Amino acid sequence: MKHTIAFLFLLFSLLSFSQNDSIISYGQNLIYENKLDDAISFYNSHLTEPKSPEQKVKLLIGLADIYKLKLDFKKTNHYLIEAYTDIEELGNKQLKFLYHVKMIEFYRKRGLFKEAIEHQKNAESILKKNIINEFDLSSYYNRRASLFSQHFGNLDSVIVYANKSLKLAEKVNHKDNIFYSKLELASVYERRGDIKGAIAYFEDLLNYANNNSLIQHQADVYINYTNALIKDDQLEKALQVSLEAIAFAKANHLLFNEIIVTINVYETYKKLGNTEKAYDYLLNRIILSEKYNKLEHDKFLFELEEKYKLTEKENEIKINTLEIENKNKALASNKIKLYVSISLFLAALIITVLIAYFLKKEKSTNKQLKILSEENEFLLSEANHRINNNLQLVVILISDQLKNTKGQERFELKNILTKVEAISTLHKHLYKNKDKSKVDVANYLNDVKVSFFEVFKENDIQTDFKIDSVDISSDHAMYFGLLLSELCINSIKHAFDKEDSKTINFRLTHKENRMYFNYSDTGSREKNKEVKPKLIDKICRQLKIEYQIETDNGFSFSFEKHITND
């Protein structure tokens, strides 16, 4: 009888564990399939009545993983702290080890390697004194491999820990660690110059992610795969895979991955010599980046506005309710003046206390809104700073390439350089401005002109630029900068022949909310010819303007556009 009871108890325990494990596994699969909102709802529904304290901790850690993918590090940290509080109460070394592994990744992803290493040491200390399950041990070795790769740069150690992680992950079918262990090994091949070996790994990972419905993983490996193909000069294949990657990112609403792969398409078209297509994707990348920043910004403001409106409405209802109650009390006690006086006094006292309470509450809410606004401003500033740094890196790379090129190729590189510098200059102005949505067009376009100084000097071209100082939106400023750059490049390349005097004239005037754009040169090569530059036409379509080109006496381009400073 005792043996039967023991057997039934063991069977019940195993079934309970299996049920708990299936809940966590199902939620993890939702994350793999990039169904993050569904995963949040699923975890929260089970968090109300968890089957055990251990399951509650894993549900909290699962929510932390989801918000980490959403780049919401504040909520990630909140759920990890809540999980750690429960872990401390349980005294469970296995869960404490898992918590430190998650914290390694939390800080590594944010570039805070000192804190990540501290948690790695804590996990290692637990490992020395306790037996850890192979599932979590695989994650630990994988995170160690990533630290050696990104922080220490020790490729031999990357191989050792990635292989340890892979061996355990394959044993327990830990899909996430199987994928990222192989990705670490592929990066070693690439960094050691074995591009074809890396490509083989990336192709295997692409198939693995596709077969196991690992959506975010597949989007990530597309980026590494296309970069490797470009490095290996497999440009046609790189272009084909990059376009597949863009379609995949669009289908799964992965805007950030779409932006990164769009850069690879731009690079590939540039190397293939298709300048027109390259610039199309460069413009598309700028539009996608603006969309990404706007979505994040609008989402943040919308949530704050809705939260504030709800609080304000609740306060209004409470005050109205109190006023009705006070009136009823006054009518009921109208027979006796003393009672009326007392009731009014009490009502006034209550209203005063309530007003004081709500004013204090509103002050606290405003303080929180201010803190959130400052955090958002910092994030936007940091994003602009990083974009500007990336643009400066592109300028440096192109400038280095210029030193090794001559003739027509050198001119084409200068063509690209001036356009990138036009965009980079805009970001510099935005970064300096308090109002990130506007820029002084005179300061900006004069800086664009400076970027052509050497080219004008080499070609003995004189310039006459007069630009009105007026603040306009950053979108219009960017297109004006690109338009001026392209016009100058076309004049340098096509306008002049053997003229004694080579001059470029530019006027940008502002009057009664209208901008008048007038550009001309004294070249004779395009005289009396029909000219319609393709890239200029595309930029003008983006600006939604009708333009005029005349070639009777040199080249002349002009348009006018309604612009307000609201």
For the chain, the domains span 407-562
Confidence of residue 410 (pLDDT cuts 50, 70, 90): low
pLDDT at 304 over 50: no
pLDDT at 1 over 50: no
Nearest C-alpha neighbor of 284 from the set 305, 301, 303, 269: 269
Q: CA geometry: angle at 421 spanning 415 and 424, to 5°?
A: 150
What are the CA-CA distances from residue 12 to residues 16, 18, 525 (Å)? 6, 10, 90
Name all contacts of 450-457 with Cβ < 8 Å and 24+ positions apart. 451/417, 451/418, 451/421, 451/422, 451/425, 451/485, 452/418, 452/485, 452/488, 455/414, 455/418, 455/488, 455/492, 456/492, 456/504
Compute the average pLDDT of residues 439-451. 87
Compute the average pLDDT of residues 349-361. 80
Compute the average pLDDT of residues 151-179. 91
pLDDT at 5 over 60: no
pLDDT at 299 over 80: no
Compute the average pLDDT of residues 209-217. 89
Tell me, what amino acid is at 286? I
CATH code matching the domain that covers 407-562, chosen among 2.20.28.120, 3.30.565.10, 3.30.1360.230, 3.20.140.10 = 3.30.565.10
Q: Write the pLDDT tens digit of every residue in 61-108.
A: 989 888 888 778 888 889 999 989 999 999 999 999 999 999 998 888
Rg (the chain; Cα; Å): 32
Cα 539 vs. chain centroid, distance in angstroms?
Answer: 25
Highest mean pLDDT among 120-129, 341-350, 420-429, 519-528: 120-129
Confidence of residue 468 (pLDDT cuts 50, 70, 90): very high
pLDDT at residue 141, as a whole number: 94
pLDDT at residue 397, as a whole number: 62
pLDDT above 70 as % of the chain: 77
Name, in order, each residue with C-beta under 8 angstroms of 106's C-beta and a sequence gap of 6 or more.
Answer: 64, 68, 73, 76, 77, 80, 116
pLDDT at 500 over 70: yes
pLDDT at 456 over 60: yes
Compute the average pLDDT of residues 196-224. 90
Given a contact cutoff of 8 angstroms between Cβ atoms, the answer to whether 62 and 35 are in contact is no
| Tokens describing residue 195 | 């591009």
Confidence of residue 204 (pLDDT cuts 50, 70, 90): very high
pLDDT above 90 as % of the chain: 27
Residue 45 burial (CB count, 10 A): 11
Nearest C-alpha neighbor of 56 from the set 81, 24, 29: 24
Given a contact cutoff of 8 angstroms between Cβ atoms, the answer to whether 139 and 123 are in contact is no
In the block, residue with structure tokens 């989801």: 66
| Helix runs in 235-336, H state only | 235-251, 255-271, 275-332
pLDDT at 498 over 90: no
pLDDT at residue 199, as a whole number: 92
pLDDT at residue 4, as a whole number: 45
- Which of 85-94, 226-235, 384-393, 429-438 shows the lowest mean pLDDT across its residues? 384-393
| Tokens describing residue 269 | 């078209």
- Which of 182-196, 342-356, 436-450 shows the lowest mean pLDDT across its residues? 342-356
pLDDT at residue 10, as a whole number: 37
**Stronger pLDDT, 540 or 429, i.e. the higher one:** 540
pLDDT at residue 127, as a whole number: 92
Tell me, what amino acid is at 251? A
Highest mean pLDDT among 69-78, 171-180, 362-371: 171-180
